[in-house]
Structure 1
Amino acid sequence: MADFFDYLNWRGDISFDKVAFNKIDALLLAHLSYSIFDGVVPSTFTERKTFAQVAKDFAATTDYEERINIGFLINKRTAELMFKTAESERYRNVELCGFRSIYNEENVEQFAAVTFIIDGKNVIALRGTDDTIVGWKEDFNIAWIPQIPAQKDALEYFSEAEKALSGNFILTGHSKGGNLVINTAVNCGEKAQKRIDNVYNFDGPGFAADFFDTEEYKAVEERIYSFYPGFSVVGMIFHHPKNFEIVKSEGFAFWQHDAMSWQIMGSNFVNEAEFTDESRLFYSAFNEWIDKLKVSQKKEFVQTMFGILEASGCKTNNEIEKEALKATAKMLAYYAELDRTKRNDMKKILSMFKDVIADDIPIFKPLVLLKNNLRITGGGSII
């Protein structure tokens, strides 16, 4: 089995002139957008740094240890991968610019982007869902908000980049970043669409079913490439494009979402023939259920689920993991105060997520708590 590190061993000494930018490069840069580039990569599109210089400056930051610890759900070898990429012949002279990062709890907004200039082509990588509870809540807000803040941020970022930079664009994103790049390509306007060569969505949450029927979507549909691991959870939330590739991952269950677990052969992925039964059943059950809800009901579902998480007092998955006992007690207390209707709604949600939730992932704690409680009480409530 081979991963990004093997890819850089195979292709790292080969220039983009000899082996063109491909889907593996797209996933690599999408993943590296999780790097904490604040104050390292220029925020404007006029000032640029080579990848080699970015790595050097990153290593010299006073808060280096904090930067490389980017959360429970982001692979701990991400910084190591960033350095290896920057050292390679293929990437060392690639220029980086336009790094932006927004985090706003009140707006439920989490967004970051960085642009890579590769042989005159602009590759925009939009960060996916990070370790914050806010980031995950924003994902689920797609269910009821016509345009989540990160989608607006992405459109504004691309509009600015499109005006500032010459040449065409490639858009790439993992997790929520996958949703953002598709939404940006579809809604950026006819003139800007013509400058987009390819759009890469890696296990991103989807859209309402009618999103794919619009003329704006059809205008870029053939340039959108979507990829999901065999055991996909995030990519099964809401409807996904009809054309996609299923990628073999060495991760277990939900952890297949980790791009660093995806298997590579040359400039291609190792493929799976189909999704796992758990993913297919979850996709069908969840989307059939949520499609029938009114907007107000969708909003209440999100607020109830994340109200339990927020009751923990933690801001990130990492904090929930570190403060497991205290966080669990607070979430149980919050759940105990819910009215019967909301508790029943949580049971419905559990019935759909039961085969895909992972006990070791903090974001699923509300459902894990409910599952364990129902097991103990024989299906009753804790009140």
Structure 2
Amino acid sequence: MANIVSYLAREQRTFEEEPFNMVDGLVMATLAYLRYERYDRLPARPSEPFRLHDVLALASWRDLLAGSWMRDAADSRSFLRALMASRRYRDAFVSFYVSESSDAVEKQFSAITLTVGDGCVYLAFRGTDGSLAGWKEDFNLCFMDVTPSQQAAVAYVSGVASALPGRIVLTGHSKGGNLAQYAALCVASDVYGRITRVCNYDGPSFLGDPSPRVGDPTYRAMLFKAVPESSLFGMILEDGSDYHVVQSSAMLIFQHEPFSWLVSDGDFLYRDGLTRTALWADGTLDGWLKTRTPEQRAQFIDTIYDFVAASGVKTAADLHRNFGSIVMSVASSTAKLDPETRAFILDTFKALVGVVGRETAKSIDPRTRIRLPRRRESYDGSRPADFARSLRPAADGSQLAEAGKPSHAEPDGLQLAGAGGPCPAKADGVHPAKADDLRLGECGASLPVPCPSAPSPEASPAACGGVLDKD
């Protein structure tokens, strides 16, 4: 099954010969995860470009991949090898690399600017790294009007646009996709007029509309949002607007990894819709958010984060290695809270459990009927064939039938034999309405970047993957 590594190996045409496409957008978004500061020949001035091929040839790959999901991904080194051998990316240059992280302000931001010889300027934003501050900032999207990284993204685009001519493409994976969208919605009008494409690869959406541009047909035409078929992250706060569902070779949340996305002939392989698991997860989170005000979400998330941070956790890897002890520490800390705060935390957990139960019931096919074998039919070592037949699937595959007895679909829900009664359920697959009464605040200010701007030819919108000429 072909992925972006296969694409790099097969697509040897330059960007002048074959314009930017959506698979290139994911390649560039993945490049934003590399730790370019580990390259000992990194120019002192951010505006000074350096060749991507030189970084891959001279820097330690272990250092480049450190601190992100790419360190442990099976295809990471194949990805770097394919980039080195790629004629398409042979003349790619990187500039304006920035990487910032602060526990104090709960910020993790990084971005790169790529030029590939077609006159366009490609800005790629890094998604969440392994830092606890990065993960906390993701959770802050559930209650904050604007995050520090979103403000930084607006400033970054404004600064690069003031330094480099040409049309602009914004791209990012995970949180990076959210930053790409936010920057496009909030930059000054003159910069916005140069943007031809915005790519969000499985990144979350927003509490409310960051700016009136959300409804602008020009913005809708240049936005490309793609999520894998079992997306979790990309459906957070998603309002049901247009997005493309991509086939993945992985399972469940592991589909978030870009290397699992399937491609063919310079485009992705698509599905008609999300899996039932993804719809369940989306409904669960959305339902929980509706039960809590932004202030309550903030109190809950901040309290849990403080407990985790107090246990000495600095990275997501720390959390994974010591998950059991951290859970016990959080539980112990909760018991020491004042009665009012403790009651709030427990009530919030209770609300979450309730939403999980309701969404689980809705996700079950109402025709499903489960019969548990009677005690007298349980396997006693003497009748394996009879016991196996007692659990055989019905002819239509929709339910389990007891041996020798007809099976009947239960139209009103899930029926457990011997249990009290049916659980009403309806698997309508409809997204619940999203709260639309929350508005985001001021957009970030532009960032002055004192750097020279070398003349370069103005690229056409098509060459940059654009769809509209707004000039």
Query: 1:353–1:170: structure 2 CA closer, same or farther, 3 Å change rule?
Result: farther
Query: 1:17–1:351: structure 2 CA closer, same or farther, 3 Å change rule?
Result: farther
Q: In structure 1, give the amino acid aligned to 2:65.
A: I
Contact 1:73/1:131, CA 8 A, preserved across alignment? no
Q: In structure 1, give the amino acid aligned to 2:2.
A: A
Instruction: Show the counterpart of 1:348.
Output: 351
Query: 1:90–1:207: structure 2 CA closer, same or farther, 3 Å change rule?
Result: same
Instruction: Show the counterpart of 1:157.
Output: 156
Q: How do 1:52-91 residues align onto structure 2 when only pairs under 5 Å count?
A: 52-59=53-60, 65-71=62-68, 75-76=72-73, 77-91=75-89
- Return the alpha-carbon distance in structure 2 between the equivalents of residues 337 and 86 of structure 1: 55
Query: 1:23–1:352: structure 2 CA closer, same or farther, 3 Å change rule?
Result: farther
Q: How do 1:1-383 residues align onto structure 2 when only pairs under 5 Å count?
A: 1-11=1-11, 13-40=12-39, 41-42=42-43, 44=45, 46-59=47-60, 65-71=62-68, 75-76=72-73, 77-118=75-116, 119-211=118-210, 214-215=212-213, 217-218=215-216, 219-240=218-239, 242-291=241-290, 293-338=292-337, 339-352=342-355
Q: CA deviation at 1:279?
A: 1.6
Q: In structure 1, give the amino acid aligned to 2:132.
A: I
Q: Looking at secondary structure, tell me which structure has more helix per residue.
A: 1
Please give the per-residue CA displacement for 1:231-259, whole angstroms capped at 9, x wherever unaligned: 11111211246111000111111111111
Please give the per-residue CA displacement for 1:278-332, whole angstroms capped at 9, x wherever unaligned: 2213323422442453331121132134334324321111122233454344233
Query: 1:216–1:191: structure 2 CA closer, same or farther, 3 Å change rule?
Result: farther
Q: In structure 1, give the amino acid aligned to 2:83.
A: T
Please give the per-residue CA displacement for 1:325-348, whole angstroms capped at 9, x wherever unaligned: 543442332344451320221233
Further displaced range: 289-298 or 141-150:
289-298
- Return the alpha-carbon distance in structure 2 between the equivalents of residues 352 and 74 of structure 1: 35
Larger RCO (CA under 8 A, 6+ residues apart)? 2
Further displaced range: 322-331 or 216-225:
322-331
- Return the alpha-carbon distance in structure 2 between the equivalents of residues 196 and 311 of structure 1: 43
Runs of 4+ in 1 over 6 A off after TM superposition: 353-356
- Return the alpha-carbon distance in structure 2 between the equivalents of residues 30 and 104 of structure 1: 22
What is the SS of the residue equivalent to 2:170?
A: strand
Q: In structure 2, give the amino acid aligned to 1:334.
A: S
What is the SS of the residue equivalent to 1:110?
A: strand
Q: CA deviation at 1:88?
A: 1.1
- Return the alpha-carbon distance in structure 2 between the equivalents of residues 348 and 73 of structure 1: 35
Instruction: Show the counterpart of 1:365.
Output: none
Structure whose CA Rg is larger: 2
Q: In structure 2, give the amino acid aligned to 1:144.
A: F
- Return the alpha-carbon distance in structure 2 between the equivalents of residues 137 and 353 of structure 1: 22
Q: In structure 2, give the amino acid aligned to 1:65.
A: R
What is the SS of the residue equivalent to 1:183?
A: helix
Instruction: Show the counterpart of 1:360.
Output: none
Q: In structure 1, give the amino acid aligned to 2:94.
A: L
What is the SS of the residue equivalent to 1:250?
A: coil
Query: 1:264–1:179: structure 2 CA closer, same or farther, 3 Å change rule?
Result: same
Structure 1 vs Structure 2 CA RMSD: 2.4
Further displaced range: 345-354 or 147-156:
345-354
Q: CA deviation at 1:176?
A: 0.4
Query: 1:278–1:308: structure 2 CA closer, same or farther, 3 Å change rule?
Result: farther
What is the SS of the residue equivalent to 2:91?
A: coil
Q: Normalized against structure 1, the TM-score is what? A: 0.84
Please give the per-residue CA displacement for 1:362-382, whole angstroms capped at 9, x wherever unaligned: xxxxxxxxxxxxxxxxxxxxx
- Return the alpha-carbon distance in structure 2 between the equivalents of residues 220 and 43 of structure 1: 36
Q: CA deviation at 1:129?
A: 0.9
Q: CA deviation at 1:19?
A: 1.9
Name stretches of at least 5 consecutive residues in structure 2 with no aligned partner.
361-471
